[in-house]
Amino acid sequence: MLDYKAHLEKLRKDAAECALVRDLAAEKAKRELYDRLYRHLDQLADEVERAMNKSKASQA
């Protein structure tokens, strides 16, 4: 479970960094790219979190 938590934290951190770059980017193409990266990483983090919760529920 600790491995999942570490991956989840990294995904959330990477997503936040992409959002920051997106918000600071001057070029439209760069903003769009980093927005797509942010949304993708955020979705992956959500999926990892759901898997963690499902695993906890099945162990209880």
Token output for 59: 């162990």
pLDDT of 1 above 80:
no
Domain limits at 11?
2-54
Burial of 18 (0-12, 13-18, 19+ CB in 10 A): buried
Instruction: Classify residue 59: in a domain, yes or no.
Output: no
- Does residue 60 lie within any of the structural domains? no
8: nearest Cα among 25, 28, 55: 55
pLDDT per residue over 8-38, tens digit each? Answer: 999 999 999 999 999 999 999 999 999 999 9
Between 27 and 59, name the one with better pLDDT: 27
- Number of domains present in the structure of the chain: 1
Q: How many CB atoms lie within 10 A of CB 11?
A: 20
Asked, for residue 34, whether it belongs to a domain, the answer is: yes
Q: Check residue 40 and give its pLDDT.
A: 98
CA 12 to chain centre: 4
